[in-house]
């Protein structure tokens, strides 16, 4: 795999790690929260169990991708992970702020 492809996977890892947090938190608190499986996707509410499972899947895949740091310069690899984390975090903060404002 090229360095560009590896960096893209590291950005994805950061995004998945960030996305897992709210789903795990909602699921572990027993609260409904939007998932891609809700109706409508990303806006409707999914059960706490589905949120826990979705969060665990995100976290697992994100952690599975992290060893790719060994394939590139670790400094830039960490920047790629952080970029994915911050980018999806900003997007989700705006998205769910709007979704919650609709209710």
Q: Is pLDDT at 100 greater than 90 in this prediction?
A: no
Given a contact cutoff of 8 angstroms between Cβ atoms, the answer to whether 70 and 9 are in contact is no
The closest of 3, 6, 57 to 27, measured between CA atoms, is: 57
Given a contact cutoff of 8 angstroms between Cβ atoms, the answer to whether 82 and 40 are in contact is no
Domain count, the chain: 1
Q: Kindly report the pTM of this predicted structure.
A: 0.91
Confidence tier at 103 by pLDDT (50, 70, 90): low
pLDDT tens digits, 60-80: 999 999 998 888 998 999 999
What is the Cα–Cα distance from 96 to 103, expressed in whole angstroms? 11
Residue range of the domain that includes 91: 3-102
Other CB atoms within a 10 A radius of the CB of residue 49 amount to 10
Percentage of residues in the chain with pLDDT exceeding 70?
A: 98
For residue 35, list its beta bridge partners. none
CA 92 to chain centre: 9
């Amino acid at each position: 795999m090229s360095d560009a492809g590896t960096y893209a996977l590291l950005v994805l890892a950061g995004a998945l790690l960030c996305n897992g947090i709210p789903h795990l938190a909602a699921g572990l608190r027993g609260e409904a929260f939007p998932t891609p499986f809700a109706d409508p996707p990303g806006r409707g509410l999914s059960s706490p169990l589905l949120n826990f499972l979705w969060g665990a899947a995100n976290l697992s895949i994100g952690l599975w991708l992290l060893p790719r740091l060994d394939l590139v310069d670790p400094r830039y690899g960490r920047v790629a992970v952080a970029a994915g984390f911050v980018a999806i975090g900003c997007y989700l903060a705006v998205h769910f702020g709007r979704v919650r404002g609709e209710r």
